[in-house]
Homo-oligomer: A and B are copies of this chain.
Amino acid sequence: MEGAAIVGAGHTRFGVRPEGPRALAQEAIRRALASVDRGVDGRTIDEGFLATLGFGGWQLGNASTVVAEAVGATGLPVTRIENACASGGFAIRAAIRAVQSGAELVVVVGVEKMTDVDQARRRYWLGVSGDTEWERLSGLTFAGVYALLASRYIADRPDAREAMRRVAVKNHANGALNPNAHFQKAVSASDVDRAPRVAAPLGLFDCCPVTDGAAAVLVTRASNARRYTDTPIYVSGVGAATDRLAVQERDEFPHFAASRRAAAEAFRSAPFGPRAVQLAELHDCFTIAELLALEDVGLVGPNEAVAATNAGRTERSGDIPVNPDGGLKAKGHPIGATGVSQVYEVFVQLRGAAGARQIPGAERALAHNVGGAGATATVTIFERG
């Protein structure tokens, strides 16, 4: 099977943005096109994917056409993909599939406009990615679901609260170095402890913010990649999975079988295992989620996430840096954009172009994207050529 490679990537500033989703998507696409070293214009692109939950009451249906307009290629086939917060990861996977099926150059853009929705509607909209009957209509928000997961996780692991605190401090410290992050401000352990509770045990700094933004990447066949750049980033493996939508109906709790299945599929085709990963983008919508993901994708063994985090192994100076861009926690989590933004970060990091937040010498990376509270998940693995 033909492999795939990333040859360009673009990112908007994440945060409270005055623009609508169309302008945000177009900005990310323009930046991605401009990032390609040579040989690309809109006409080179023969396929597109748009990842969005359609948040905010904008163009809710048929939005895929805005991608063709942004690329300047009227007629381009573009497919909108929506798998809640994992929309971006599923769109990246669809792009990899497309080049395996013969496409030359594929654009993937993820976008969400969230801050123009009032607080009550925001809660409703985000809740739609959980189970309607058992969760949403019972009033259970995502912070509530993750609070249940965290409570269970903490009950068996006395040091887990410290690890969650460290995830928040670490990701805010990383975000402070990322000019695209929503929050570019370090927080202290006592800031985390003193913050108001959102859903106990989760406080304000355990939760990702509500953010606007977009990210785009360009995917081509591995064998063609050097047509566009001398430093492509190659896809070593990709996996995706689902689980039952309602947390209460699952076989296990609090870990996510979908993340584990996606990682297993991704590593089946990769020439290295999870312990060889030197940098990871993990879906830290809440601090507890980063701990679960560390174990689920296999970066550490079962029950090792707390010790690894408390030993500083996931910091930028550690042996498995996690979320060097600030993660969902500090960079922000514009739903459809997140999975694509993760691949943007992998792309600039593996090329040594990440500036102040650069992880020196990283050659193998992993991106992990979750939809809802583990109902859908993707894992993609990358390496330098």
Residues of A in contact with B (beta carbons under 8 Å apart): 1, 53-54, 58-62, 64-66, 68-69, 74-84, 90, 93-94, 97-98, 100-102, 125, 128-132, 239-245, 251, 257-258, 261-262, 371-372, 375-376
In the complex, which of the residues B75, B82, B239, B244 contacts A242, with contact meaning CB atoms closer than 8 Å? B75
B84 touches A241 (CB 8 A): no
Q: Which residue of B lies closest to A55 (CB)?
A: B61
A241 touches B77 (CB 8 A): yes
A128 touches B83 (CB 8 A): no
In the complex, which of the residues B69, B240, B257, B375 contacts A65, with contact meaning CB atoms closer than 8 Å? B375
A65 touches B243 (CB 8 A): yes
When A1-B101, A1-B102, A74-B244 are in contact, do A372 and B79 touch as well, CB less than 8 Å? no
Contacts of A76 in B (CB 8 A): 241-242
Please report the C-alpha to C-alpha distance between residue A375 and residue B69 in the assembled complex, in whole angstroms.
11
Q: Which residue of B lies closest to A48 (CB)?
A: B242
A243 touches B75 (CB 8 A): yes
Contacts of A257 in B (CB 8 A): 74-75
When A1-B101, A69-B244, A94-B94 are in contact, do A62 and B75 touch as well, CB less than 8 Å? no
- The smallest C-beta distance from A210 to any residue of chain B, in angstroms, reads 15
- The smallest C-beta distance from A220 to any residue of chain B, in angstroms, reads 15
* 11 more A-B residue pairs beyond the given contacts A59-B131, A62-B245, A75-B258, with a C-beta to C-beta distance below 8 A: A1-B101, A61-B371, A62-B83, A62-B371, A77-B241, A77-B242, A78-B242, A79-B90, A80-B82, A81-B81, A97-B97
